[in-house]
Structure 1
Amino acid sequence: MDEALVVGGTRFIGRHTVEELLDHDYRVTVFNRGEHASPFADREGVHHYAGDRTNDRELLTAKREVEPDVVIDCVAYHPRDVRKATEVFADVGAYVYVSSGAAYAAEDVPKREDETPLCDCSADQAADDTDATYGNRKAEGDRMVFRAAERGVNAMAVRPTVVYGPHDYTERLDYWLHRVDEYDRVVVPGDGTNLWQRAYVADVASALRLVAESGTPGEAYNVGDRNALTLADTLRAAADALDTDVELVRASDRELSTVGLELGSFPLYRPAPHLLDTHKLAALGWDSTPVAEAMATTAREHREGDRTGVENGPERAAEETVLDVLETI
């Protein structure tokens, strides 16, 4: 049985990655600061090592005590994190860095791992903590992986697009699930055809395992739903999963401006299509979960939980004003 070390691992992608590894007979150690309650506290086959991944000594000590065959790094948010990790874990069987589709600099459709250019990253951006530099920092982390592979490290990157599924603390999709579940009419920004591909979290977890087992050092692999839905189709899928009916009312920037909103005020809206080519990952034997199945699982957990995502988008009162405006046109 192989030993896996998951850096991060109790909240979302890491949580599902631990489950994926357990399902494939790994022993798993979760390395994090323990700031969030662990869903694996009493789980056989899962150990916890408390430490700060930005503390080089603690990271090295964890490596020496666990002696992992595989390392999945879910919480490397700065290039320095990736550089240090590839040094500490230089002799493990595989090091997999969770990057992001945000690392791409060009609006290619689709974005391809070996063709679409990555974002640049200045020294100031590399040290920043804001959302504005997220893609820059993830891209530089990819370059750290590539350089490590040139030194002989079995390091790889996985680039998911927007991730959704059970236990999603970002609540981006929860906003829409709550709207569809609670109201008969829902405002959709624009004409509903904007395309921001998503990735089901269990599929991201399986991608991380497959890349660790079969990936090529120095390579990056995109991951996203093979059937990418527009926002309007996503809401229809959500309605089906929730067994409810909803009228999607399309609103332009002009109508939204009557209450101080714009298209980008809504979660999961993006003016340019964002689609990742996943053929490279599929060549390793990966496939995505059918959207209907993934949405059903996500919707069920949404109803069982207490997340509404309301802070991610317009207040319902503003939405109702827009609906009233549209009725008079």
Structure 2
Amino acid sequence: MNNALVIGGTRFIGRHLVEDLLDNDYDVTIFNRGNHDNPFSDDPRVQHIQGDRKDDEALRTAKLTVEPDAVFDCVAYHPGDVVSAVDTFTDVDAYVYISSGAAYGTEEIPKREGVAQLCDCSDEQAQSDSDESYGPRKAEGDRVVFEAASRGINAMSIRPCIVYGPDDYTERLDYWIDRVLNYDRVLVPGDGTNLWHRAYVEDVASAMRIIAEEGEAGEAYNVGDQRLVTLREMVELVADVAGTDVEVVTAGERELAAADLSPTDFILYREYPHVLSTGKLAALGWESTPVEEAMRRSVESHRESERDGAEWDPGREAEERVLSILDTL
């Protein structure tokens, strides 16, 4: 297996996947609409086919042109996308679909593949683009993969939790890095022990390749950092690798409400712990990057970029009001 087709491949997970494949001697072709800058435009090792993955004819043309051994689907956001893909790539050695930890429909610790129940998905949700339908849509894509495998198609899926690292256009982690780099005191909602499993992007990329090489058709594989850190620990880790000192100040619902804030106004806060079991993936030979090193690379990337996470900013003035309230207690 050495010829890969990456559907997507230019933004975040797909970009790091292409780099991982190149590092492991794959011939790589990316297939996308060309709506985003192509970081591999000057790299002769990466071929590019322009087309819309929702156009079945374009997808078939890409397959006939590349004749891939492995297909990595980074931009299948609706179940119908997965249906088209598995019907197109019926004879490849591996089709790997990016699902999500959000596909799980029950709160369990940890969430295990084949044990924790997946979200249901209505016909309306399957066609939706809403944030609320994201988990159900990803779960239905998993079910398409399972059904395809029952027909002899070598399809499998990967379920990342919150993905972070260099080139993250969501800027979720960048909000917290920006706070650490620019303020002496960082406000963290709750008591700081909030736990939302995260996955370093380079580890997600290597996991996709390993699943294609070693995984079993019809199986799903969770991926996430093998060492979890709480929200408070994450902020402290950012400060440590950035070489700065910050005071982490925690605030409960009552203190936050005094400034018209709530815990969910802070990105990466989740009331109930979200933890994925990664033992099944590790059994294939996958290893995660130490979280300290992953965070160091993330902070370096942040400093070199213009990302600041402003989209997620609950308002520094409101935070300062909370900090003042806490100082008087």
Q: Same fold (TM over 0.5)?
A: yes
For the residue of structure 1 that corresponds to 2:258, the secondary structure is helix
Please give the residue correspondences for 1:165-314 in structure 2 after superposition, counting only pairs within 5 Å: 165-314=165-314
AA aligned to 2:276 is L
Q: Structure 1 residue 44: deviation in Å? A: 2.5
- Letter in structure 2 aligned against 1:213: E
- 1:50-65 matches, within 5 Å, as 50-65=50-65
Q: Within the alignment, does 1:34 sit opposite 2:50 as a pair?
A: no
Q: How many residues align?
A: 329
Displacement of 1:210: 0.2
Unmatched tracts of structure 2, length 5 or more: none
Equivalents in 2 of 1:64, 1:318: separation in Å?
56
Give secondary structure in 2 for the equivalent of 1:30: strand
Q: Structure 1 residue 313: deviation in Å?
A: 2.8
Partner SS, residue 297 of structure 1:
helix
1:59-78 deviation line (CA, Å, top 9, x unaligned): 11111111111000000000
Other structure's SS at 1:188 match:
strand
TM-score, reference length from structure 2: 0.99
> Which position in structure 1 is the counterpart of 2:68?
68
Post-superposition Cα deviations, 1:7-66, rounded to whole Å, max 9, x if no partner, equal 001000000000000000001111100011111001121011000001111111111111
Q: What's 1:163 paired with? A: 163
Cα distance in 2 for partners of 1:311, 1:282 equals 35
Query: SS of 1:222's equivalent?
Result: strand
Distance 1:315 1:60 in 2: 48
Matched ranges for 1:91-102 at <5 A: 91-102=91-102
Secondary structure in 2 matching 1:49: strand
**1:126 corresponding residue in structure 2:** 126
Q: Partners in 1 of 2:315 and 2:287 — Cα distance?
A: 37
The runs of 5 or more residues in structure 1 that have no matched partner are none
Give the aligned residue type for 2:120. D
1:265-291 alpha-carbon deviations (Å, 9 max, x no partner): 000000000000000000000011000
Quote the Cα distance in structure 2 between the aligned partners of 1:72 and 1:40. Answer: 17
* Counterpart check, 1:145 vs 2:145: yes
Structure 2 match to 1:18: 18
Percentage of pairs with the same residue: 61
Task: Look up the match of 2:45.
Answer: 45
- Report how far residue 326 of structure 1 moved: 1.1
User: Corresponding residue for 2:116?
Assistant: 116
Q: What is the CA distance between 1:86 and its match in structure 2?
A: 0.3
Cα distance in 2, alignment partners of residues 252 and 312 from structure 1:
19
Matched AA of 2:144: M
Give the drift of 1:325: 1.3
CA distance in 2, matches of 1:308, 1:318: 18
* SS of structure 2 residue aligned to 1:28: strand
CA deviation after TM superposition for structure 1 residue 260, in Å = 1.2
> Deviation digits for residues 74-130 of structure 1, max 9, x if unmatched?
000000000110000011110000000000011110000010000000000000001
The residue that corresponds to 1:106 in the other structure is: 106
Q: Which residue of 2 aligns with 1:83?
A: 83
SS of 1:259 mapped into structure 2:
coil
1:135-184: per-residue Cα shift (whole Å, max 9, x none)?
A: 00000000000000001000000000000000000000000000001100
**In 1, distance between residues paired with 2:276 and 2:211?**
17
Supply the AA of the counterpart residue of 1:252. Answer: G
Distance in 1 between residues matched to 2:125 and 2:288, nearest whole Å: 33
Q: Distance in 1 between matches of 2:304 and 2:52?
A: 32
